[in-house]
Amino acid sequence: MKELQNAKVRHWLAEPMGRDVAEAIAKLAEADDVAQIAVMPDVHLAKEVCVGLAVATRTKIYPAAVGADIGCGMAAIRSSASAELLAEERSAARLLAGLYERAPSLKHRRATAPATLPESLLQSPLSHPRLEKLKLRDARLQLGSLGRGNHFLEFQRDDEGRLWLMVHSGSRGMGQAISAHHAALAIRETSIKGPSWFDADSPRGRDYLADAAWAEQYAAENRLAMLAAVAELLWDLFAVELDFGSLIHANHNHVRFETCGPGNLWVHRKGALSARAGEPGVIPGSMGTASFHTLGRGLPESLCSSSHGAGRALSRSEAVKKIGERQLTREMRGVWFNERQAGKLRDEAPSAYKNIFAVMRAQRELTQVVRRLQPVLNYKAV
């Protein structure tokens, strides 16, 4: 662990930071009420606040330090099958085809959508009538959908040959709408450059926190809905079950009032996993690379956080320019995926991301590896 020039900032790096990332973090450290920043080894540039940060404040809430996909996170669950279930192309193809139907990318057809939202989501009102309208109109159709970009559903092999399922998804269009709504209302401190904020105890601050908590819950229900749908698919195709007692479930885009580090603070995590002592977590690599199940070590200097994945090495536009279809196919050798979509998946190629093993080495004092998994079949929507 080393310090940056600003004493508020600690970092755990797998490689030197680019100047643009370092400058963005330095500006954030000077923003009003920012008490501490922990920089994770998967850090990379993003709008206003970098991905791969935990940011602590005393009284102010920075929506940009949570990000637009509020509650985005991971779920991992063990199956009753050996990974040999997917050794043959025919079995893999049947499963992949079923995933496109049971876990669509954008939304369900009205005929296959859930009849209603879970009662807890229906009974928790959002802060504005427009958001309530979206909840009743769109949230039901999107519940149990994967999303695009870096979201994925993957079957993996552990070191004992057991088949696991991992899902990476978030709050879908609802999180985006909630974030955009509050960003438009956020107060900007005119004398200090930096992202917009709310006072946590102000009416608008309380509205944001309540809506963000709803989005977190929606994202969790979204992942659970996909697990339930895939459980039915596995049973229908192979008479294989998912062991819900093995479920690991956590998100990496949120803000919480916590005691970790220098006192009671609002800890914002944007692409950072909560890693309190003994807390289970899931840290994915990328398409074609290893993922890890972890236990947090609860290091106060890191705001009890760890990386949420490998982190991008290339922006999406850079990846599309540098990585061709053949390269992606080579990098995915040994992993089933929809090769017909290779041209549209180049920005998600393994080489577009940092080395996950270097990332895990860089954060050994933040989190403990419990289990390493290798990809067997990857489903990504485009």
Token pair for residue 158?
A: 């552990």
- Report how far apart, in Å, the C-alpha atoms of 359 and of each of 35, 198, 329 are: 25, 33, 24
Token pair for residue 109?
A: 């057809």
Please name which of 104, 230, 252, 74 lies closest in space to residue 163, comparing C-alpha atoms: 230
The set of residues, in sequence order, having a beta carbon less than 8 Å from that of 129 and lying 6+ positions away, is none
CB 269 within 8 A of CB 251: no
Judge residue 380's burial from the number of C-beta atoms within 10 Å of its C-beta, 0-12 exposed, 13-18 middle, 19 or more buried.
Answer: buried
CA dihedral (206, 207, 210, 214) in degrees, to 10, reads -160
Looking only at the bridges linking them, the beta strands covering 9-11 and 34-44 are: parallel
Spatial distance between the Cα atoms of 41 and 15, rounded to a whole number of angstroms: 8
What is the rounded end-to-end Cα distance, in angstroms, of the chain?
38
DSSP 347: G
Spatial distance between the Cα atoms of 381 and 96, rounded to a whole number of angstroms: 11
Spatial distance between the Cα atoms of 216 and 364, rounded to a whole number of angstroms: 28
Tokens 């490689």 identify what position? 15
Strands (E), 159-219: 162-169, 198-199
Please name which of 167, 171, 249 lies closest in space to residue 211, comparing C-alpha atoms: 171
Spatial distance between the Cα atoms of 52 and 57, rounded to a whole number of angstroms: 17
Please name which of 130, 198, 152 lies closest in space to residue 337, comparing C-alpha atoms: 152
- Report how far apart, in Å, the C-alpha atoms of 143 and of each of 102, 172, 378 are: 11, 8, 21
Token pair for residue 363?
A: 């954060």
Known active-site residue 181: no
Question: DSSP secondary structure string, 186-198?
Answer: -B--TTS-S--BE
Q: Exactly one of 11, 108, 252, 308 is catalytic; which is it? A: 308
> Which residues are the active-site residues?
308
